[in-house]
Amino acid sequence: MIDLQGRVGLVTGSATGAGAATAIALAERGAGVCINYSRSQKDAEETLAKVKALGVPATIFQADVSDRAQSEALVAHAVAELGRLDVLVNNAGMTHFVPHTDLDGMSSEKWDDILQTNLKAPFFVAAAAMPHLQKSDGAAIVNISSLAGIAGSGSSIAYAASKGALITLTQSLARAFAPEVRINALAPGVILTRWVEGNDEFVQQYIDATAVKKACPPESIAHAAIFLIESEVMTGQTVVMDGGLTLG
């Protein structure tokens, strides 16, 4: 098992939700953390304060990771401020809610938005981080995909496609950069974050359809991400966290 004490992690989209929970979980295990946000500055500062309260070094950086130059600046900041980089969690994501039958509504612009953030951004950040991760003993990347990427479900066809492609990206990077860097993915179903606020009926329908009768709290994503980071024999894998929804 990889010991995270004294190591450094970067979590994209870590102002709120699963990203914030993962940043805090890394800090609880003694790792320094770089908090990243695009728009939610107040939330990011609150997460930073929680991380610092755990007695580890931490920093914060605003970057839209869908832009390659900003992704590179984010990684450079993390290394400059915290001295090294051992862990990357690609959590930042977005969607447009478009019914799967509304093919005309899934516009080129919406496709570009989703692919840029959900697929290109994890590649951009990983590419910038890789030279630093390769210097670490036991480095790891965790990509937050989705059940939508396996089942073809979710908020839109483009979202499902982007998350499926992220799983393939995970496998490609794992092959290319073994054994120095391990790369795995998580594929959760509904996560109880602000993404689903106000959609109580949808969330309840999802819960009722699962075997465990639960949706996924952000802390469960964090726990699973830590498991993948610490598990030194796992790479190229996608762990499904759907409460047994796909058991059939």
How many Å is the Cα radius of gyration of the chain? 17
Say how far apart CA 125 and CA 174 lie, in whole Å.
15
Q: What angle do CA 121, 124, 128 make, to 5 degrees?
A: 140
Nearest to 14 by CA among 3, 2, 25: 25
Q: What angle do CA 225, 17, 167 make, to 5 degrees?
A: 45
Choosing from 37, 123, 124, 159, which is the catalytic residue?
A: 159
What lies within 8 Å, CB to CB, of 20 at 6+ separation is 14, 43, 47, 50, 218
**Residue 37 falls in the annotated catalytic set:** no
Catalytic residues: 159
